[in-house]
Structure 1
Amino acid sequence: MNFCLPYSATRRVLAAALACAVTLPVAAAFAAQAPAPATLRLDYLHTGNASTEQYAIERVVIEPLPWPGNMARTVDDTDRGVNKVEVVDKASGKLLYSRGFSTVFNEWRSTAEAEKVNRGFEESVRFPKPDHAVTVRILKRDENNAFTLAWSTELDPDAPDVVRKQEPSALRPIPIRVSGPSPDKVDLLILGDGYTAGEMKKFEATARRMADQLFSVSPFRERAGDFNVWALAAPTPESGVSRPSTGVHHASRLGTRYDIFGSERYVLATDNRALRELAQNAPYEFIEIIVNNDTYGGGGIFGQFSTAAANSDWAKYLFIHEFGHHFAGLADEYYTSPAVYQPSGARVEPWEPNATALRDPANVKWKKFVAAGTALPTPWPKAEFEAYSRDIQQQRVALRKAQRPESEMSALFKRELAHEEELFSRAPNRHAVGAFEGANYEATGYYRPQLQCMMFDRSEQFCTVCQDAISTIIDLYSRPAPH
């Protein structure tokens, strides 16, 4: 049953107004709380190449829903991301809000193409609407991994060019899991792309399945009560998203496609403005896009979004692995699959919590989990693993080149995982936390915490260090529920 009341600044009446615009569960997510600020979004352009970058304001928008976050945790102390946004009160200099994040631009600039051409990318930062003029600063890491100023701009939230009203959306978010008021919870929005109007029930069923699978894996399982999950999709004319390498081109609301940066398995949404205009119809802090495709693929950008092929035999792994990138800034720990990024040559200590250059073994970043007497670096059957993996990669390339059925690729991955399980079952350090060489797309010079993890292979658990890193982000966005 829906009901309608006029807008009011109080949460109690706001909940009723929201019920008119969206659904009762969305209204409930904002009910029984102190008044919250509006959500302000700064859309900007990020352009450049491998050596230069520029920023330019596109527009400033007040989104339809209030700020969903915890106003007691507005400053980010996790030290994650390639970039960080800071919102500073112009008059007093007080830091009002900050969050670490990464960008598609930053990934692109490490590709070979960025050495030759300039490109521009749309990006957004969202934060609680301030009461007065502010300075918005975008920071980036330097060669020593310290944050330095990349760009700043003055922003008046009451300026006449701020977009305050938009056309009402006919789309309604589906409540998948509502654990409590949004400011107390992590709000995850599952968006669908490549689903036709006749496939909306399929989308909802898939979103529910993906959420259930996420909360079957630690630490999400133990912290499920700290999450709200919503689902939303705009119908597309055809099923599935584009896969240009095979000649498949489909129109989609979010511009989601395979073959990003020339990698056949890399899937990203390419229309940031469309993404934000769709997502703003639900409370959210994190977004995962499920695509209505069978072909193995996905992607994840810390603090932006992640993607997963929902119909793949490996959909559970893809959804959770890519969410690990987006949610917690976890590094890829694998290194035998081809990567699109140019190796830097230097071995700078990664900011990601689950990879290290091991400059100081006695003080490895996850030292608290390393048992006394554990060798650092930690021995493992690396040569045998690499020999088998190289053969698998050759078979993988051959299958894609011949455009063989997806079932054959899935079978190949199953054989690979079975071989790894058997090989690692004989390893003396199978369950130890140490420093295992091979991570961050590099065979040497970078180390991962444990032999196996969802960030390394297609096994179904996060390692101890990754679980701890995920829990840190859950704490940043939620008031932990009783356990």
Structure 2
Amino acid sequence: MPFSLIRSCAAALLLAAGAAGAQQPATVRVDYLHSGNALQDSYALERVVIEPLPWPGDMSQALDETNRGQNRVEVVDAKNGDLLYSRGFSTIFGEWRTTEEANRMNRGFEESVRFPKFDKPVRVRILKRDERNAFSVVWSVDIDPEAQEVVKKQPAAPAKPVPIRVSGPSPQKVDLLVMGDGYTARDMKKFEADARRLADYLFTVSPFKERAADFNVWAIAVPTEKSGITRPSTGVHNPSALGTRYDIFGSERYVLTLDNRALRDIAQHAPYEFIEILVNNETYGGGGIFGQFSTAAASNDWANYLFVHEFGHHFAGLADEYYTSPVAYQAGATRIEPWEPNVTALRDPASVKWKKDVKAGTPLPTPWPKAEYEEYSRAYQKRRAALRAANRPESEMSALFREDLAHTNELFSKAKHRHDVGAFEGANYEATGYYRSEMQCLMFDRSEKFCNACSDGIAEIIDLYSRPRQAK
């Protein structure tokens, strides 16, 4: 379909969404501050906002039963307590509190929850997993969307959303918003091309490939004065609309924004349920928080991988399956069963999460060339750190990544259980105590396929947000 026609169709859908107020409720956003340290946290309400666009989701699928996320938001009737809406999510604060810094100081992070407007006052509850891995309420606040202090009128959009893929009305589809940061006014065509290229690649990877018709994709970017985003470790400070930057929690490759209000105030002008931020940088980097957003360096040689891998975190709550790369997080004292669908503590091998895919006779735990892999990886990580410390050209880092993947493929090709589903020790940033379902996966290294456990986890979230087409 010609792009001009796609754009006109998308504009028609946006207008239809705006006119469908009687069918689709308004979108309510609660902005709040989440602060504390490694041992305690607290919450404080900042503001309640009625966003410019109607609720993009399917009202028949208001309740989330996937059991994902470190947190959960519940919206209940303020009078009788009936559950009206729920979703699992995780937070930047939740990650920060596992860092060394959280043991010696307090910090505060902006957060938001969004939900459809109900025709009655509601109570918004934030829940958190406890030591038993069960949810318990940690904060609640009563919200009357008609109250005087609620922000009901928004400034004009600082940029117009661009349609990338339009499959149907938002309530029937997953709405993905690709945002740009570090793109100047002259870079806007590059941003649109980057957004289109990476979104197109996403839908070549299963199970997104088979479910492409269940997605709409939009793009929006507010121009910056300079190309590229802030990278403090190299003395680069580029102010930008989203405030995205490298070096989060001291990790040179970790890219996030801590300016949640800026993010939400721009994103609210397009239909969205999920966000991926493209940064206009060549340096390898990205990040992803379940239910919040993900990021990827759009100009890096590994941008395709970064886009999909980080989106896996944000979209489906997939855990990292690698464990030899340095991270900012400290290991936990106990090994409780992770909520993420693709890793396990294997406390009960007979009931492993992905047991439907485990063939009879497959040993659990499952042998793999772990010692050989770790020996090579230690040397590889030293080379990687040396390249970064010397600020070598990004092409040298990309070449090292290609070499590493080739070595892993060769090593694994000779392994007995290369194509089996089992329980392979080493996952979730830990060499022992956590297991992944297959020897290799897009969440383990820079390979191109998700394992079955990840694919199933992704499909479950697609089902939560999209309404399948009726058979003719």
Match of 1:478 in 2: 466
1:215 is aligned to 2:200: no
Cα distance, 1:270 vs structure 2: 1.5
1:173 equivalenced with 2:129 (yes/no): no
Structure 2 unaligned blocks of 5 or more? 1-6
Which residue does 2:285 correspond to in 1?
297
SS class of match (1:287): strand
Shift of 1:53: 0.5
Matched, 1:369 2:325: no
Q: 1:437, CA displacement in angstroms?
A: 0.2
Shift of the alpha carbon at 1:133? 0.8
1:69 to 53, 57, 60: 57
Partners of 2:470 and 2:372 in 1: how far apart? 45
Cα distance, 1:284 vs. partner? Answer: 0.1
The separation in 2 between residues aligned to 1:456 and 1:395, in whole angstroms, is 19
Cα deviation digits, residues 259-286 of structure 1 (max 9, x gap) = 0000000000111000000000000000
Q: Aligned pair count?
A: 464
- Corresponding residue SS for 1:92: coil
Determine the C-alpha separation between the residues in 1 that align with 2:201 and 2:248: 26
- 2:227 corresponds in structure 1 to 239
SS of equivalent residue, structure 1 residue 23: helix
Structure 1 letter corresponding to 2:54:
P
Q: How many percent identity over aligned positions?
A: 70
CA contact (8 A) 1:59 1:162 kept: yes
Distance 1:346 1:173, change over 3 A: same
* Matched residue, 1:312: 300
1:152-211 per-position Cα deviation (integer Å, ceiling 9, x unaligned): 111111110000001112411000000000000000000000000010000000000011
Range that drifts further, 22-31 or 78-87: 22-31
Distance 1:210 1:300 in 2: 16
Give, in whole Å, the separation in 2 of the partners of 1:32 and 1:50: 45
Give the alignment partner of residue 360 of structure 1, picking from 348, 351, 354.
348
Q: Is the 8 A contact 1:189 1:284 kept in 2?
A: yes
- Which residue identity does 1:44 align to in structure 2? Y
Deviation at 1:25, TM superposition (A): 4.3
Q: Is the 8 A contact 2:322 2:444 kept in 1?
A: yes
Q: Which residue number in structure 2 is paired with residue 9 of structure 1?
A: none
Q: Residue type of the partner of 2:341? A: P
Q: Using the alignment, how far apart are the partners of 1:366 and 1:146 within structure 2? A: 21
State the shift of 1:366 in Å.
1.1
Say whether the 8 Å CA contact 2:13–2:169 is kept in structure 1: no
Please, what TM-score do these two structures have when normalized by structure 1? 0.94
C-alpha distance in 2 between matches for 1:378 and 1:193: 43
Deviation at 1:361, TM superposition (A): 0.6
Contact 1:26 1:175 in 2 (8 A): no
Q: Which amino acid aligns with 1:452?
A: Q
Q: Distance in 1 between matches of 2:182 and 2:158?
A: 18
- 3-state SS, counterpart of residue 344 of structure 2: coil
Whether the aligned pair in 1 keeps the contact of 2:323 and 2:429 (CA below 8 Å) is yes
Distance between the aligned counterparts of 2:408 and 2:380, measured in 1? 12
TM value normalised by structure 2: 0.96
Question: Whole-Å Cα distance in 2 between the matches of residues 33 and 108 of structure 1?
Answer: 39
Are the aligned partners of 1:29 and 1:180 in contact in 2 as well (CA < 8 Å)? no
Question: For 2:18 and 2:50, how far apart are their aligned partners in 1?
Answer: 17
Q: Secondary structure at the match of 1:276?
A: helix
8 Å Cα contact 2:181-2:279 kept in structure 1: yes
AA in 1 matched with 2:305: Y
Structure 1: runs of 5 or more not aligned: 1-18
1:126 aligned residue (105, 114, 122):
114
| Displacement of 1:345 | 2.2
Listed as ranges, the matches of 1:79-98 within 5 Å are: 79-98=67-86
State the Cα deviation string for residues 399-434 of structure 1 (Å, max 9, x = none).
Answer: 011110000000000000000111111111111110
RMSD of Structure 2 on Structure 1 (CA):
1.5
The counterpart of 2:214, out of the listed 219, 222, 226, is 226
- The answer as to whether partners of 2:21 and 2:54 remain within 8 angstroms in 1 is no
The aligned residue for residue 403 of structure 1 is 391
- Give secondary structure in 2 for the equivalent of 1:318: helix
Judge conservation of contact 1:45–1:123 (CA < 8 Å) in 2: yes
Residue aligning to 1:12: none
Q: Give 1:61-210 correspondences, 5 Å limit.
A: 61-210=49-198
Q: Look up the SS of the partner of 1:208 in the other structure.
A: helix
Secondary structure, in 3 states, of the residue corresponding to 2:382?
helix
Equivalent position SS for 2:444: coil
Q: Distance between the aligned counterparts of 2:444 and 2:419, measured in 1?
A: 14
Alignment of 1:373-388 (within 5 A): 373-388=361-376
Aligned to 1:393: 381
CA shift for structure 1 position 33:
9.4
Shift of 1:28: 4.8
User: Counterpart of 1:393 in structure 2: which amino acid?
Assistant: Q
Residue deviations 1:283-318, cap 9 Å, x none? 000000000000000000000000000000000000
Whether the aligned pair in 1 keeps the contact of 2:71 and 2:90 (CA below 8 Å) is: yes
- 1:29 deviation in Å? 5.7
CA distance in 1, matches of 2:242, 2:340: 28
Q: Could you tell me how far 1:482 is from its partner in structure 2?
A: 6.4
Can you list the C-alpha shifts for 1:318-363, whole angstroms capped at 9, x where unaligned?
0000000000000000000001001112111101000100001111
**Which moved further from structure 2: 200-209 or 26-35?**
26-35
Q: 1:268 aligns with which of 233, 256, 281?
A: 256
> In 1, Cα distance between the equivalents of 2:19 and 2:412?
50
